[in-house]
Amino acid sequence: MKIKTFYIKTFGCQMNERDSEIMAQSLGKFGYQPGTDLYEADLVILNTCSIRAKAEQKVMSLLGYLRKAKTKNPAMRICVAGCVAQQEGGRIIKRMPHVDLVIGTQNIYKIGTLIEEVETTGKQIVTSLEDDYVIPHVLPEIAITKSNDSSMDDSIAPPAYAKFVTIMQGCNNYCTYCVVPYTRGREVSRKNNDIVDEVKVLVRSGVKEITLLGQNVNSYGRTNKVSDSATYNFSNLLRDVSQVEGLERLRFTTSNPKDLTDELMQCFKDIKNLCPQFHLPVQSGSNAILKKMNRKYSVEQYFDHVEHLREYCPEIALTTDVIIGFPGEKDEDFDATMKLLNDVRFHGSFSFKYSDRPGTVASTFEGKVEEIVKSERLAIFQKRQDKISLSRNQEYVGTIKRILIERCGKDGCRGRTDTNHIVHLENCSELKGGEMIDAKISHAGQHSLQGVTSK
């Protein structure tokens, strides 16, 4: 019997990366094996992101190329998964009739069954969001043999010794620019014991670092019961997961500042394996723009959080997200964002030009900022951030840092500090992926560090 192969191309965030892993595991049970060539696979899955127009355009253009591959090999099955699939649904099949399956974010666990249904009926399938969705409890089956899974998009697959664990799906916040509440549905949290069990399995398999994932982890447990205790929250979950024997490092992402509590910040002081690193998206330094974004916090509250976090954990490395050129953003609003950047001095940031996303409230706003103005402001912001990142990184030169090795090759090894900085090691021929070693930081660049070890 011919073994069928699959290839998953993942776009977007870590949630999508984790969803791709879940689909890969599910397909294994249906006789599929990972392939290495997108155009030669029996089943191609594009796990899509609709947060920015560019990512969506890339998917559509890739689907165009896949039409030719399917003409050559009509048995090829093409699946569009993820946020674009959820948002566009049947419209994808109308535009791209060679697509066999459009599978939304909640239905990834059923991919094997759905593909089987496509094979037996010969019909195209489009799934939809469920009102009473419960995240299925599926324990991971992993064997760590190499850094990256070749059937996954090679640029963003997580290193083998660091894994993501989804703790919740969806979001109830309705920030005016964001599609997530429409593409991932209402917020649902997983049971605490399911999460701890999954972490135990991963750590037993050799994983050293876990990142807990959700659109807004700070509100974990608020919309559905996750444990016997009615007050169980994200801080409780962090404390429970941190105690899994053998877990070296614990991280989480992402957090909405409006839900950040002192109880959570205290965890950075108390939990030894919780990494001193926090991604806290601010989006804008202007209160007027934050209000239009429906973020429900002020710049002053954000500064308070930063101050408290640094009190609880002085070495914490802070990163953020910023949207440049939101509708109505005036020069003074952008100046306020620059002031915030200069005052907080983030270790790093992800900054993007605002783009209208279909179906969002912000797409109907007046006062759209001209493209050229957005580009100029983005360049100013990024140039300043690069300088700050360099100066922040230079503070590490001469210090000893514990590094988790991700991969080693002819050109040296690469690993990460607990603050999530990439470190390239110069003299490390005997190191293996997953090993933890001390290195002296010898050089700092804008985006990474260099280090030397005695090994």
Residue 166 preceded by cis peptide, ω within 30: no
**Binding marks (x or -) toward ligand SF4, 124..163, rule CB under 6 A?**
----------------------------------------
Residues numbered 256 to 285 that lie near ligand SF4 (CB under 6 A) are: 256
DSSP label of 2: P
Task: State the minimum distance, in angstroms, from the CB of residue 340 to ligand SF4.
Answer: 18
Q: Are strands 77-81 and 101-103 parallel, antiparallel or unpaired?
A: parallel
The SS3 call for residue 208 is coil
Task: State the minimum distance, in angstroms, from the CB of residue 345 to ligand SF4.
Answer: 24
Query: Does 171 help bind ligand SF4 (rule: CB under 6 A)?
Result: yes
Query: Does 173 help bind ligand SF4 (rule: CB under 6 A)?
Result: yes
Task: State the minimum distance, in angstroms, from the CB of residue 330 to ligand SF4.
Answer: 22
Question: Considering beta carbons, is residue 28 or 328 the nearer one to ligand SF4?
Answer: 328
Question: Considering beta carbons, is residue 242 or 256 the nearer one to ligand SF4?
Answer: 256
Of 95, 137, 138, 174, the residue at the interface with ligand SF4 (CB under 6 A) is 174
Measured distance CA(101)–CA(27) in Å, rounded: 14
Query: Does 216 help bind ligand SF4 (rule: CB under 6 A)?
Result: yes
Query: Does 175 help bind ligand SF4 (rule: CB under 6 A)?
Result: yes
Of 114, 157, 162, 180, the residue at the interface with ligand SF4 (CB under 6 A) is 180
Of 81, 135, 178, 264, the residue at the interface with ligand SF4 (CB under 6 A) is 178
Measured distance CA(89)–CA(80) in Å, rounded: 9
Question: Considering beta carbons, is residue 180 or 405 the nearer one to ligand SF4?
Answer: 180
Instruction: Please choose, from the candidates 175, 252, 215, the residue with its C-alpha nearest in 3D space to the C-alpha of residue 83.
Output: 215
Task: State the minimum distance, in angstroms, from the CB of residue 173 to ligand SF4.
Answer: 4
Of 181, 185, 348, 433, the residue at the interface with ligand SF4 (CB under 6 A) is 181
Measured distance CA(251)–CA(369) in Å, rounded: 36
Q: Are strands 436-444 and 400-409 parallel, antiparallel or unpaired?
A: antiparallel
Query: Does 215 help bind ligand SF4 (rule: CB under 6 A)?
Result: yes
Question: Considering beta carbons, is residue 96 or 171 the nearer one to ligand SF4?
Answer: 171
Sheet with 101-103: strands ordered across: 32-34, 4-10, 43-48, 77-81, 101-103, 125-126
Q: How many CB atoms lie within 10 A of CB 93?
A: 18
- Using only C-alpha atoms, the chain has a radius of gyration, in whole angstroms, of 22
**Tokens, residue 162:** 């660091």
Q: How far is CA 254 from the centre of its chain?
A: 8
DSSP label of 283: B
The CA-based angle 221-227-233, given to 5 degrees, is: 35
Question: Considering beta carbons, is residue 177 or 396 the nearer one to ligand SF4?
Answer: 177
Q: Which residues pair with 318 in a beta bridge?
A: 278
Task: State the minimum distance, in angstroms, from the CB of residue 187 to ligand SF4.
Answer: 8
Q: From residue 307, how far is each of 216, 262, 419, 440 by CA, in Å?
A: 21, 11, 18, 29
Task: State the minimum distance, in angstroms, from the CB of residue 291 to ligand SF4.
Answer: 14
Question: Considering beta carbons, is residue 53 or 390 the nearer one to ligand SF4?
Answer: 53
Question: Considering beta carbons, is residue 219 or 242 the nearer one to ligand SF4?
Answer: 219
Q: Which stretch binds ligand SF4 (CB under 6 A): 3-11, 25-33, 175-183, 192-200?
A: 175-183
Measured distance CA(77)–CA(294) in Å, rounded: 41
Q: From residue 424, how far is each of 78, 355, 416 by CA, in Å?
A: 38, 35, 9
Task: State the minimum distance, in angstroms, from the CB of residue 211 to ligand SF4.
Answer: 17
Binding site for ligand SF4 (CB under 6 A): 171, 173-175, 178, 180-181, 215-216, 256
